[in-house]
C-alpha cells in the first residue's frame, strides 16, 4: 500500500465523523511531518492533477502547480483543505463584485502548511517561486459532479467549468 493510499484511507475515515474538517486537518498535519515521504512517492512527471478518491463526502486530489502558469479563476462550492508538501502554492482570492470579480487577497501555503478555502471562495492558483508546488487537496464534497464556474480574467463573467474552458483561460505568469 502506497503512502497516498494510506493517507486516502485515513482521510476517508475521518471525513465521516462529527468534525470532518478538524479531523482531516489533523491527518494532513501529521502527513506533512513526513513531507519527504510524500515527495518521494510523487512522480516527477505525469499529470499535474490526480484524483485519488471521490465519494459523496470527500474528494481527494494530489495537485502540482507550475510556476509559469496561473490557473483560471474558479469556484469549488465546497470547503477545501490544501496541504502543501513541496514548494509553495499561492491563491489569488476574489469576491463577486457586480458582474465581475474583485481581488480580496492572496494566500500562500508553503511546504508544511495547510491552507483553508471556504466553500464560496473563488481563486486563481499558481506555484510561488521558480519550482512547482505539490499538495494534497481535500474537498468536502463530490467535486467532479458539482456544477461549478470558471471566470473570465478580463470581464469576470462566469463560464461553465469545462476542461476546454479551463485550458483556454490559463494565463502565463510573467
Domain containing 61: what range?
3-172
Instruction: Walk along the chain (174 residues) and give the pLDDT tens digit of each residue.
Output: 899 999 999 999 999 999 999 999 999 999 999 999 999 999 999 999 999 999 999 999 999 999 999 999 999 999 999 999 999 999 999 999 888 899 999 999 999 999 999 999 999 999 999 999 999 999 999 999 999 999 998 899 999 999 999 999 999 997
pTM of the model: 0.96
Total domains, the chain: 1
DSSP one-letter code for 130: T
- Cell, residue 77: 462550492
Residue 51, class by beta-carbon neighbours within 10 Å (0-12 exposed, 13-18 middle, 19+ buried)? middle
Gap between the Cα atoms of 124 and 139, Å rounded: 16
Where residue 121 sits, what CATH number does that domain have? 2.60.120.10
Give the list of residues 6+ apart from residue 105 with CB closer than 8 angstroms, or none: 92, 93
Per-residue confidence (pLDDT) for residue 153, from 0 to 100: 86
Amino acid at each position: 500500500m502506497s503512502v497516498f493510499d494510506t493517507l486516502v484511507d485515513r482521510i476517508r475515515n475521518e471525513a465521516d465523523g462529527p468534525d470532518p474538517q478538524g479531523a482531516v486537518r489533523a491527518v494532513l498535519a501529521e502527513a506533512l511531518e513526513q513531507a519527504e515521504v510524500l515527495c518521494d512517492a510523487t512522480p516527477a512527471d505525469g499529470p499535474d492533477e490526480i484524483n485519488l478518491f471521490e465519494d459523496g463526502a470527500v474528494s481527494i486530489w494530489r495537485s502540482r502547480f507550475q510556476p509559469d502558469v496561473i490557473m483560471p479563476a474558479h469556484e469549488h462550492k465546497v470547503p477545501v483543505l490544501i496541504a502543501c508538501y513541496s514548494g509553495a502554492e499561492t491563491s489569488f482570492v476574489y469576491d463577486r463584485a457586480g458582474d465581475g470579480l474583485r481581488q480580496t487577497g492572496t494566500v500562500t501555503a508553503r511546504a508544511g502548511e495547510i491552507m483553508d478555502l471556504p466553500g464560496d471562495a473563488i481563486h486563481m492558483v499558481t506555484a510561488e517561486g521558480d519550482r512547482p508546488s505539490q499538495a494534497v487537496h481535500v474537498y468536502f464534497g463530490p467535486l467532479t459532479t458539482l456544477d461549478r464556474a470558471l471566470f473570465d480574467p478580463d470581464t469576470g463573467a462566469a463560464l461553465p467549468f469545462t476542461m476546454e474552458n479551463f485550458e483556454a483561460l490559463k494565463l502565463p505568469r510573467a
